[in-house]
Structure 1
Amino acid sequence: MTASVPTPKMLPIDEEWMRELLLKLLLIPSPTGRTDQIMHCLGEVLTDLDIPFELTRRGALLATLRGQRHSPSRAVVVHSDTIGMAVRRLKANGRLQVVPIGTHSARFSEGARVTIFTDDPQVSYSGTVLPLKASGHAYDDEVDTQGVGWDHVEVRVDEPVYSAADLAELGIQVGDFVAHHALPEITPNGYVKSRHLDDKAGVAAALAAFKAVRDAKVDIPVTARLLITIAEEVGHGASHGLHADVAEMVSIDSAVVAPVQESVETGVTVAMQDMTGPFDFHLTRKLLAVCAEHGLEHRRDVFHHYRSDVAAAIEAGAEMRAALIGFGTDATHGHERTTMSAIRSVAELTALYLQSDLTFADWDTTRLGTLEDFPSEEQPAPAQQTVESSGQA
C-alpha cells in the first residue's frame, strides 16, 4: 500500500506573471511546423523556474518536477503550435494563394494582418488576407455574394509586387509560412481577446501551476511531467515525447463556448468526451470532485467537433488514464475570447491535481494486475434490470 498523501491545498497563482507570459507567447508566431522560436522562449522560462527539461528530436519539450515517487509518473500536456497558413501559389496579380495549417475557416482570416516568413530567417513581409472582391466601390453587392473558402481569399503583400515574378524576386516561395497577427488585448474587466489563445492560454496556465507548486515548496507525491507539444493543430500532438512510465495524463486546451455547448468563459471545463470518445471515467470524476471541494467554478461538457493531445497519445498506443480540462473560449479558431478568471481557474485546478496521488495509487503503479485488485467497485453499477417474458414457451 502507498503512504498517505496530504490533502491538496489551494495554492496562490502568480496572476501577474501568468498574464505577462501569456502576452509574450501570443506575440511569438508559432503555426504548426514553425515552432522553434516559441520553444526557445519556453525553455528560458523553465530555466528561470529551475525546472529541468529535455527536447525531443522534433522539438517537443518535456519538463520534470520530481515527486516523492518517481515512477510511475503523471503528465500535464499543452501545445505551443497554432493554426496558420502556407503559400500555395504565387499569383499572376502579385498576391498569394494560401492553404490552411490546421482546421479553420477562411471566413475568420478575411481582414487578418499576417506575416509571410521566407526561408531566409532575416527576411519576412507583412500582408493582409482579403477576399478576392474586397471593395464595394469596385464590385458593389458582389462583395456580399461571393463564396467563402480558401479559394476565395488571397494575401496582399505590403510590397510593390504586381506579378508572380515580383513575388519570387522577394524570395517568397510555395510552402512559406503565413502567420496571423494575434493582436492580444486584456480588458480592464479581465476579458482576454486574441487569436491563438488555443493553446497559449493553456501553456500559461500550466506553467503558472508548476510555478505555484515550486514557489510553495510542495513535496508532490508523484513526479509530474510537463509535455509541450508542437503539432496538435494537425493531429499529431502528444503522439511522441511522453515517457513510458506515465500512468495518467491531463491535457489543457480551450473549452468551446457556444450556444450549443455547456462551457462558460469564466471557469474551468472538465470535458467528458470529444469526437474520439469518452475520457477516463475515474480521472474526470476525480477532477470534478477536486473542483467541487475547493469551490472552483466548473462545468462538464462534450465536444463533437474537437480533438486534443489526448487523442494523439492514445492512438499512438499510450497506456494511461487521460482527461481534458479547458478554459472557456468563445469563437475558437476564430476571433477568440476568454477571461483571466478562466485561465486562473485552470491553473488552480492543475496545481491541486499535481498535489494529489494517482487516481488509484496502488493499481496504477503497474501496467497489469489481477481481477481481485482491479478497482471496479469505484464505478457505480447499473440499475438492476429484469427480463420481461414474451409469453412464449
Structure 2
Amino acid sequence: MPAPAIDTDYLKAQLEALLSIPSPTGYTDTIVHYVSEELGRLGIDHSVTRRGAILACYRGHRQDGARAVVAHLDTLGATVKRIKDNGRLELVPIGHWSSRFAEGARVTLFTDEGSFRGSILPLKASGHTFNEEVDTQPVAWSQVEVRIDADSYDRKSTEALGVHVGDFVAIDPQPEFLDNGYIVSRHLDDKAGCAVSLAALKAMVDAKIETPVDVHFIFTITEEVGSGASAVLLDHVVSMVSIDNGTTAPGQNSSEFGATIAMADQVGPFDYHLTRKLIRLARENGIPHQRDVFRYYRSDSASALEGGADVRTALITFGIDASHGYERIHMHALESLAKLTVLYAASDVEISRDTEELAGIEGFTEQPHEPAPQHEDVPSPPAT
C-alpha cells in the first residue's frame, strides 16, 4: 500500500490536548479518561486495566498473531518528601530527571483537598540575598523546594492547607508550537508518541485500511518508573512496536526529522527481523529514517520482556533534543512515525510460525551468515 495520508492538524491538536493534562506517573486518571473518550470518537473498541492502561483494538482479519503499538501517557514529575519548617516542600523526583531542569518550573500541587499552584526554586534563589552563592550551590533535589502560592509560611500553615507527604507535583509543560514545525515543551516524552498513535489510528479509520491481524494500540501509564508494558499484552500478541523519543545529542545518530529506528538500548538489541521490517517499510515508502543505539535508555518494550512476554519487540522514535528537560522535536518526525505505524499495521504477516507459542524448527527465521558480496565500485586500499 502507498504511504498513508496523516492528518497533521489532528496530530498537533491531540498533542496540545495531551500536554494540557497533567499526568505524572501515579496521577494519570484524567488523561486516561481523555484518551478513552477520543478512542470512542474514533470508533475504536478499547478496554482499561485496573490501574488505567488502555488497550485499544483495531480489528484485523484474524486475532491470532496480533500486533501491538505502544506509547506511554505518564510523564516525569515529583512527590512531596517533607513539609519543611519554612512551609515549603522538599521533593523527590518521579522518573529520572535533573533538578537543574526543575529549577524555576511552575507546578501544580495535587492534595486530597484540591490543587494549588506553585514554583520550584533553588534554596538560594535571591541574588540580592545570597550574591554569588546563587551560582555555586550544588545541583541536587535536596537543593530545591516548592514555594506554594498560598498562605504557607511554616509547617503548621502548610499542613492547614491540606498538604501531605506523598502529594503529587505536576510540572507545567509550557509548550510552544512554532510555524516552522518545531515544538518545544516538557513532557513530549511520550505525549508526542501518544499523539502519533492517535493520528495513525485516525488515518486507518478514515481510509478503512484492512489489516491481516488485530492491531492493539496500547497506552501505558507507568513507563517513566520502569514497569510500563510489563502486564498489558494479551496472549495472542506476537510483536510489539514502541513509539517513544530518541535522543539527538553528541554521539547519537537520531534526528529531529524522519523516523529514528532503534537497534538497541541499555537492555540489549531489539528483534532483528521486526526492526529490519520497519527499516524496509520506511525505505520502500520514501520515509526518511536513520538508525540509532541508546546507552542510557529503556522503553515499554523492555518492561514487556521483563514481564515475561515472549514477543518480538522494536522501537521507533522521534528525535528529541534535551530529553527529560525542556524538549524540542519537529512535526516532520511525528508525521513520519505515524506513516510508518500505519504501514506496519497493514503489512503482510511474514513469520506465520509466530502464532504458535512453541513449535518445531520448520519455518523458523534465519539471519544472514554468508560473506557479504564484493562490489566492483568499492575503491581498492592505497598501495604501501
Normalised-by-shorter TM-score class: over 0.9
Runs of 4+ in 1 over 6 A off after TM superposition: none
Counterpart of 1:380, as a letter, is P
Counterpart of 1:26, as a letter, is L
1:309 aligns to 2:297 (yes or no): no
Q: How much does 1:367 deviate?
A: 1.8
Residue from 359, 365, 369 that aligns with 1:381:
369
Query: In terms of mean alpha carbon deviation, does 133-142 or 271-280 score higher?
Result: 133-142
RMSD: 1.0
* Residue deviations 1:311-361 (CA, integer Å, cap 9, x gap): 00001110110000011110000000101111111101101111102341x
Match of 1:70, SS? coil
Instruction: Work out whether residues 77 and 250 of structure 1, in 8 Å CA contact, stay in contact via their aligned partners in 2.
Output: yes
Q: How much does 1:53 deviate?
A: 0.2
Whole-Å separation in 1 of the counterparts to 2:135 and 2:31: 38
* TM-score of the pair, normalised by structure 1: 0.93
Match of 2:362, SS? helix
Give the corresponding residue for 1:201: 192
Q: How much does 1:191 deviate?
A: 0.5
Counterpart of 2:50, as a letter, is R
Whole-Å separation in 1 of the counterparts to 2:253 and 2:205: 33
Q: How much does 1:366 deviate?
A: 1.3
Residue from 31, 34, 39 that aligns with 1:38:
31
Counterpart of 1:119, as a letter, is D
Query: In terms of mean alpha carbon deviation, does 136-145 or 362-371 score higher?
Result: 362-371
Counterparts of 1:42-191 in structure 2, within 5 Å, are 42-120=35-113, 123-191=114-182
Residue from 193, 200, 214 that aligns with 2:205:
214
Q: How much does 1:12 deviate?
A: 0.6
* Residue deviations 1:148-184 (CA, integer Å, cap 9, x gap): 0100000111112110111100001000000000111
Match of 2:229, SS? helix
What runs of 5+ residues in structure 2 fail to find an aligned partner?
A: 373-384
What runs of 5+ residues in structure 1 fail to find an aligned partner?
A: 1-7, 385-393
Instruction: Work out whether residues 358 and 364 of structure 1, in 8 Å CA contact, stay in contact via their aligned partners in 2.
Output: no
Instruction: Work out whether residues 151 and 158 of structure 2, in 8 Å CA contact, stay in contact via their aligned partners in 1.
Output: no
Whole-Å separation in 2 of the counterparts to 1:278 and 1:106: 31
Match of 1:138, SS? helix
Match of 2:219, SS? strand
Whole-Å separation in 2 of the counterparts to 1:129 and 1:383: 58
Whole-Å separation in 1 of the counterparts to 2:146 and 2:167: 12
Instruction: Work out whether residues 286 and 359 of structure 1, in 8 Å CA contact, stay in contact via their aligned partners in 2.
Output: no
* Residue deviations 1:26-81 (CA, integer Å, cap 9, x gap): 01000000000000000010000000000111111100011012212000001000
1:11 aligns to 2:11 (yes or no): no
Tell me how many residue pairs correspond in the alignment: 372
1:367 aligns to 2:360 (yes or no): no
Distance change >3 Å, CA 151–CA 359, structure 1 → 2: farther
Match of 2:214, SS? strand
* Residue deviations 1:284-318 (CA, integer Å, cap 9, x gap): 01101111111111110001000000000001110
